């Protein structure tokens, strides 16, 4: 999961940096900024605004796709729900609780993203 997430996040962030117009790079170079200073002071803040939505979207997708970990024997939320369902014979109740837990994990991340996007748009 770590390799999968890091590969996708690198591509998201690389794409956001490349989405910054070439003129911004040239303008920061004309100010005699080093590459690191260009990224930190000019390109980074602009790329951050672009990167928030896809990064959070991928994070929510990653949280929801952890159920695939049960394929390799790792007990995660959905697998635990299946095990409890087999013991209690109450699938609706158990899976409703599992769904609420996934919602409790994903919804605050989405709210935080929305607030962060609004704050960065205002700046």
| Structure confidence at residue 11 as a pLDDT band (50, 70, 90) | very high
| pLDDT above 70: residue 105 | yes
* pLDDT given for residue 74 in this prediction: 76
Read off the CATH number of the domain in which 87 is found: 1.10.3720.10
CA 83 – CA 32 distance, rounded (Å): 62
Averaged pLDDT, 10-28: 96
CA 86 – CA 94 distance, rounded (Å): 10
User: Is the torsion defined by CA of 24, 28, 29, 30 positive or negative?
Assistant: positive
* pLDDT given for residue 66 in this prediction: 83
CA 45 – CA 39 distance, rounded (Å): 8
Please give the tally of structural domains in the chain: 1
pLDDT digits (tens, 9 = 90+) for 56-79: 999 999 998 887 776 777 788 888
Residues of the domain holding 38: 2-122
């Amino acid at each position: 999961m770590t390799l999968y997430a890091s590969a996708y996040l690198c591509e998201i962030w690389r794409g956001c940096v490349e989405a910054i117009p070439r003129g911004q790079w040239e303008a920061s170079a004309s100010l005699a900024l080093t590459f690191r200073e260009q990224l930190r002071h000019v390109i980074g803040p602009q790329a951050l605004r672009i990167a928030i939505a896809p990064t959070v979207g991928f994070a929510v997708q990653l949280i929801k796709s952890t159920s695939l970990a049960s394929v390799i024997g790792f007990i995660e939320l959905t697998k635990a729900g299946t095990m409890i369902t087999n013991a209690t014979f109450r699938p609706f109740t158990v899976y409703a609780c599992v769904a609420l837990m996934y919602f409790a994990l994903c919804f605050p991340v989405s709210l935080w993203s929305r607030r962060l996007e609004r704050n960065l748009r205002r700046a």
